[in-house]
Amino acid sequence: MNSENLLSRKEFLSQCGMLGAIAVLSPLVGSAENLAVPERKVKVAVIGCGSVSNMYLPHLSKSPYVELVSCCDIIPERAKQQAEKYKIPNYYPHIDKLLAGEPFDLLVNLTDMQEHGRLNKQALLAGKNVWSEKPLANTYKEGVDLVSLSKKKGLRIWGAPAVVNSPQFAFMAKSIKEGKLGKVAAAHAHYGHLGPTWSAFFYEKGGGSLPDLGVYNLATLTGLLGPAKSVIAMTSIVTPKRKTDNKGEISVIAEDNAMIIMEHDNGVLSHVQCGFNYFDPYGHEGKGQEKPSITIYGTHGNMHLVGYDWAPFGVDMATSENEKTVRFVSDAGTYVWEQGASVIAESIVNAKEPLITVEHALHVLEVIEAARASQATGKRVQLQSTFKYPVV
């Protein structure tokens, strides 16, 4: 390992407040550099033991980089149930008890969207690194403050989605970079279904189809085309009343139908549409969706991501050199959308920056906020945030 690598690995670990903890045993030192099995695992606590925990916990529990130490839910039976199912030694009914209980390194936040900012802040203040489901915070400003706090505390925070990790994303990014599409001009992405039924928060203030569904497409398109400079959008509510499992019939407050146009550098325009009123025979899980949900057009070619960006099946591409559409990367390898927290744990153990950056998550949050402002004012909204681009 050269000294530059060693320095950046040390910097990474010290930014996670883990230099002392992992450096003693990890690949950072000497000849143990390329160990297949890590000598030290990241101690992980999961907060929020609802629907998505049924995807995260199986993945985390199989990761060789993770030791699941605690879980927590304000509905204590849920925490107990998941603790028993996944052999997690400690479970708690409140974040205060979780933070004061068995020590851990990384909080995985899988609670209601509206709770993320508050709980992420509490975890950072208690000296924990954070992986948060989307959105990272309720507002862009709250997200910026969280990142400043993490830096001040010598910690790190990251946010879903993990779409930039897929081999299909890598292929598309590479094809654009190599000029296979010529000059890129326009892109479209869509994601929708009939909306979650189990929890009301998806339809309450701070919820909506943008932070729940559109967020994937926004991360993919900004990741491929670069940060957005401005946004214009319309949002609406198509179904004003919903039946939910936890609160019965509720009035829908957050948008359930959205269209955004983003302006990127060099005149590139992209469009994202999402909503909770899309009949989709592939349902919430998207299984079997074999049509493209993301399309990118350039002067010499076009590219279509088959399936959803969070569950891709391949990329169809036609170019001026080969006009017949060919399918590439029809294997997603080990990529699954619920891998985010496991990948972060692996990054911490290996002291290697992950592809996912908090700046990208913050940018997507700013786009969502700008879309709401554009709807409210009827105006185009300029953005301030940016992130490291190209991503791959």
Ligand X SMILES: NC(=O)c1ccc[n+]([C@@H]2O[C@H](COP(=O)([O-])OP(=O)(O)OC[C@H]3O[C@@H](n4cnc5c(N)ncnc54)[C@H](O)[C@@H]3O)[C@@H](O)[C@H]2O)c1
Bridge partners for 270 per DSSP: 187, 262
Site for ligand X in 130-189 (CB under 6 A): 133-134
Question: What is the closest distance, in whole angstroms, from the C-beta atom of residue 216 to ligand X in the complex?
Answer: 9
Min. distance of Cβ 135 from ligand X in angstroms?
Answer: 7
49 binds ligand X (CB under 6 A): yes
Contact between 189 and 309 under an 8 Å Cβ cutoff? The reply is yes
CA distance 268 to 198: 38
Q: Which of 65, 69, 88, 112 binds ligand X (CB under 6 A)?
A: 112
Q: Decide: is 100 part of the binding site for ligand X (CB under 6 A).
A: no
Does the protein bind ligand X through residue 74 (CB under 6 A)? yes
**Cα torsion angle, 83, 88, 90, 92, sign:** negative
* CA angle 136–137–141, rounded 5-degree value: 120
Radius of gyration of the chain (CA): 21
The reply on whether position 50 binds ligand X by CB under 6 A is: yes
Q: Which member of 67, 105, 115, 369 binds ligand X (CB under 6 A)?
A: 115
Question: Phi/psi at 118 (nearest 5 deg)?
Answer: -60, -45
Burial of 290 (0-12, 13-18, 19+ CB in 10 A): exposed
Largest CA distance in the chain: 62
48 forms part of the interface with ligand X (CB under 6 A): yes
* Least distance from ligand X to the Cβ atom of residue 52, Å: 3
Here's the x/- map for ligand X, 252-291, by CB under 6 A: it reads as ----------------------------------------
Interface with ligand X, residue 231, by CB under 6 A: no
Residue 251 as a binder of ligand X (CB under 6 A): the answer is no
Residues between 208 and 227 with contacts to ligand X, criterion CB under 6 A = 212
Contact 260, 371 (CB under 8 A): yes
Task: List the one residue from 25, 52, 185, 234 that touches ligand X (CB under 6 A).
Answer: 52
Nearest distance in Å: CB 103, ligand X = 19
In the chain the first and final C-alpha atoms are separated, in Å, by 22
Query: What per-residue string of b and e applies to 55-74 under the rule 16 or more CB within 10 Å gives b?
Result: ebbebbbebebbbbbbbbbb
Residue 312's nearest CA partner among 216, 228, 224, 388 is 216
Question: Which member of 113, 155, 254, 262 binds ligand X (CB under 6 A)?
Answer: 113
Piece in contact with ligand X (CB under 6 A), picked from 11-19, 62-70, 71-79, 165-173: 71-79
| Contact residues: ligand X, CB under 6 A | 47-52, 72-75, 78, 95, 110-113, 115, 119, 133-134, 198-199, 212
